[in-house]
Chains A and B, each alone.
Chain A
Amino acid sequence: MSEGSFLRVRAIAKKEVVEFTRDWRTIIAIIVIPLLMFPLLFILFPILLESETAELDALELSIVIQTDGLPENLAENISLSSMDYSIELLPNLTSLSEPGQDLERVRNSSTDAVLRFESNDDVWGYAILHLSTSERSNEARNRLLNTLSEWESSETRERIEQGGLDVNTTLDPLRWDGEISSGDVATSGEQSGMILSMFIPLVLAIWTYSSAIQPSIDMTAGERERGTLEALLCLPCTRMELLFGKWLAVATITGVGVLLQVFGLLFAIGYLASSSSFIGVPQLSVISICLIVLSIMLFAVMVVAFELALAMRSHSVKEAGSILAPALMLILFPALFTQVINLDGIEGFWFAIPVVNILLALRELLMNRVITEHVLIWGISSIVYASLAAYYASRQFNREDIVTSLS
Chain B
Amino acid sequence: MPKSLLSIQGVTKNFAEVEALHEINLEIYSGEIVGLVGSNGAGKTTLLRLMAGVYKPSSGTVNLSNGEPVTTMRHELGVVPESTGLYSRLTAWENIRYHSRMHGIPDSVSWARTEKFAEHLDMKESLSRHTKGFSRGMKQKTALLRALAHGPNILLLDEPTAGLDITSARTVRALVRQLRDEGGTVIYSTHQLAEAQQVCDRIVIIHNGEIRADGSPLTLLEDSKTESLEEAYVSLTQDQARTRKEDNDRESAFTGWWRRFFTPKTPQTTREVMESE
Contacts and interface: CB of A to CB of B under 8 A. Distances in A.
Residue of A11, A229, A235 with highest tally of chain B CB at under 10 A: A235
Contacts of A401: 15
A234 B156 CA distance: 10
A8 interface: yes
Contact of B99 (A19, A23, A231): A231
Contact of A232 (B80, B85, B88): B85
B247 A237 contact: no
Residue of A7, A18, A228 with highest tally of chain B CB at under 10 A: A228
A406 B247 contact: yes
Interface string B133-153: 000000000010010000000
A237 B80 CA distance: 17
Secondary structure call for the A interface: helix
B228 interface: no
Interface string A205-229: 0000000000000000000001111
B86 interface: yes
Given A227-B81, A228-B85, A235 B99 contact: yes
A57 interface: no
Interface in A1-33: 4, 7-8, 11-12, 15, 18-19, 22-23
Interface in B67-122: 74-75, 77, 79-90, 94, 98-99, 101-104
Contacts of A23: 89
Given A403-B49, A403-B54, A15 B98 contact: yes
B52 A234 contact: yes
A182 to B, nearest CB: 60
Contact of A7 (B74, B90, B101): B101
Interface residues on B, range: 20 to 34
B217 interface: no
A61 B70 CA distance: 85
Nearest to B104: A4
Nearest to B53: A234
A12 B87 CA distance: 13
Contact of B87 (A7, A11, A228): A228
A236 B102 contact: yes
Nearest to B85: A231
Contacts of B52: 233-234
Residue of B15, B54, B90, B103 with highest tally of chain A CB at under 10 A: B54
Nearest to A23: B89
A403 B52 CA distance: 13
B257 interface: no
B56 interface: yes
B168 to A, nearest CB: 19
Contacts of B104: 4, 7-8, 236
B84 A227 contact: yes
B101 A236 contact: no
A403 B56 CA distance: 13
Given A15-B98, A236-B103, A237-B102, A400 B56 contact: yes
B85 A229 contact: yes
A167 B122 CA distance: 99
Interface string B212-240: 00000000000000000000000000000
B25 to A, nearest CB: 22
A155 interface: no
B64 to A, nearest CB: 13
A230 interface: yes
A19 B89 contact: yes
B140 to A, nearest CB: 13
B11 to A, nearest CB: 14
10 contacts: A11-B101, A11-B102, A15-B90, A19-B90, A22-B89, A227-B82, A227-B85, A234-B77, A234-B81, A235-B74
Q: Which 8 pairs from chain A and chain B are nearest by CB?
A: A227-B83, A231-B85, A236-B74, A234-B79, A22-B89, A228-B85, A235-B102, A234-B52
Interface of A: 4, 7-8, 11-12, 15, 18-19, 22-23, 226-237, 400-401, 403, 406
